[in-house]
Amino acid sequence: MSARGRLVLTALVLGTIAAPVVAAVLVTRSAREAIAAPTAYARLAIDSALADSSAFAALPRRLHALLDVRPAIDHVATSLPLTLHECIQYPGEESGQVRRRLQLRYPDSSAVVLFAVARERDGALERVEFIRRTPREGQRALTWEARRDRTTSVWWFEYPIGRIRREERGEIPRGSPVPRAVRALGRKLLVATCADSSASYVPTSPNSPMNPISGSSR
């Protein structure tokens, strides 16, 4: 065999050996990039983190204590005294939509329900609902909706025997830090670890964010 023939044969052998190695490297790199690439929800949460923190910092002290459940959304079993932490993702009512619902309960019987609806395509929020029960006092609900860029507030007074009555309902000015803080909770919920569920979400269920939290008599 001539020197040129031997050179061509060597090149073919080396190419045959190297091809799977190169392919494996490319596949591994692609897999790593896919894992590292943030979701649309994560990108929005990262991009909004500074402004969201500023909104919480600007809240009045009592409202901050009521609304800031950010540590509980990322709950670790030993980090917070929670008796219930349940996060479930439900099918969207429309195509390309995701819905998540978080329920929290504390040892003092206080409770929180957080509900978020967003687009899968770009992670944009469409609706966020927050309700918190303070035992023997009442329940505060805050709802932000993208369609009208409106945030509403509802307060239910709780009687000592457990019955509740809606006392007031109003709209919160867009310029206040409350709408931003409510949306921040929705963004954080969308990047939390949640169980998936194929069951249909029923908006009128007892624990719906649109209704007072059940178990108020306890």
Please write the tens of the pLDDT for every residue from 43-53. 888 888 999 99
| Choice between 149 and 23, residue whose per-residue pLDDT is larger | 149
Return the residue matching tokens 């369609």.
147
Range list of β-strands (E), the chain: 84-91, 97-105, 111-119, 125-134, 138-145, 150-158, 164-172, 195-196
Distances (CA, A) of 148 to 48, 126, 132, 144, 145: 21, 10, 24, 9, 6
* Mean pLDDT, the chain, integer: 76
Q: Is the pLDDT of residue 117 over 50?
A: yes
Cβ atoms within 10 Å, residue 123: 19
Confidence of residue 29 (pLDDT cuts 50, 70, 90): very low
Question: Alpha-carbon distance 19 to 147, whole Å?
Answer: 53
The confidence score (pLDDT) of residue 93 equals 84
Confidence of residue 17 (pLDDT cuts 50, 70, 90): very low
Portion of the chain with pLDDT greater than 70, in percent: 69
| Choice between 152 and 27, residue whose per-residue pLDDT is larger | 152
The confidence score (pLDDT) of residue 211 equals 54
Each residue of 85-101: pLDDT tens digit? 999 998 888 888 899 99
195-196 vs 125-134, strand pairing mode: unpaired
The confidence score (pLDDT) of residue 212 equals 57
pTM as predicted: 0.72
The confidence score (pLDDT) of residue 157 equals 86
Confidence of residue 196 (pLDDT cuts 50, 70, 90): confident
The confidence score (pLDDT) of residue 183 equals 96
The confidence score (pLDDT) of residue 198 equals 53
Please say whether the beta carbons of 130 and 124 come within 8 A. Answer: no
